[in-house]
Each structure stands twice: as structure tokens, then as C-alpha cells.
Amino acid sequence: MRIGELAERAGTTTRTLRYYESRGLLPARRSVNGYRTYDEEDLRLLQQIRTLQDFGFELEETRPFVECLRAGHPAGDACPASLDVYRRKLAELDELIGRLQTVRDQVGAQLLRAEAELPGGPDPQCEWGG
């Protein structure tokens, strides 16, 4: 298939596909007339990349998954390098969740403090229509 069809089937743009090609994530095969050509396996690579990016993975973090698929494995996460990326991403997410929980606790404490300092409830002059 040609680049436009692959882009349509993958739900992306030809520009994105050319970018992936320049980064070495998508093979750069050409037909005799110079057109880029792709097959179902390339669509599978793109679906793996898109799924991981939807999960918040950076483009470079998808590389081990793509390489795993290219090596003939049935899934992009069937290789040790892919599992390492999963582990790193989970550690990042755990750290982010911890930071968010800290901020949430601080905002909750500020709310409780502010509510406790209001004698008789909120001041009507401070109300807003939002």
C-alpha cells in the first residue's frame, strides 16, 4: 500500500509517517517508481506506536516495541527491552502520582484552613457568579 492509504488506515497523517521513517521506526521501502510502499506489518508497527503514545509514552520509548515486532515476535512487549520500558514508565507514573497526591493534600489542607477561619461562613461580598 502507499503512504496515503497507510496513513488513513492508521488514523494518522503522511507527515507523521515520514517523520517516523526519518527516526527509523518505520521502514523506508520504495517501489520501482519511487513511491513509498508499506504492508500489513507496517500497519501493525504503527498501531503499536499509537497505542503506546496514547498511554503517554514518548516516541523514542516505542522503539524497543517496534524492534521486537520487527524481530518477528507476536507482540511488541515480548522482549526484555520492552519490559524495561514498561518498568521505567511505571516508576515515572508512580512518582507523578505521588507528587499529585502531595499537591492534593496541600490544597485540601488549605481549603480546611480557609474554611475554619471563616466565622459564620463565606462573606457574601466575596461570592462570584462562576
Determine the pLDDT at residue 127: 64
Taking the chain, what is the end-to-end CA distance rounded to the nearest angstrom?
Answer: 53
- Residue 129 located in a structural domain: no
pTM reported for the whole predicted model: 0.79
- Residue 27 located in a structural domain: yes
Report the helix count and the strand count for the chain, using DSSP H and E.
5, 0
- Residue 33 located in a structural domain: yes
How many structural domains comprise the chain? Answer: 1
Determine the pLDDT at residue 119: 77
- Residue 78 located in a structural domain: yes
- Residue 65 located in a structural domain: yes
- Residue 35 located in a structural domain: yes
- Residue 125 located in a structural domain: no
- Residue 127 located in a structural domain: no
Q: Tell me, what CATH number does 72's domain have?
A: 1.10.1660.10
**Alpha carbon 27 to chain centroid, angstroms:** 21
pLDDT in tens, the chain (130 residues): 999 999 999 999 999 999 999 999 999 889 899 889 999 999 999 999 999 999 999 999 999 999 999 999 999 999 999 999 999 999 999 999 999 999 999 999 999 999 888 877 666 666 665 4
Range of the domain at 46: 3-117
Determine the pLDDT at residue 117: 86
CA–CA gap between residue 95 and residue 91 (Å, rounded) = 6
Report residue 70: phi and psi, to 5°. Answer: -60, -30
- The answer to whether 48 and 66 are in contact (CB under 8 A) is yes
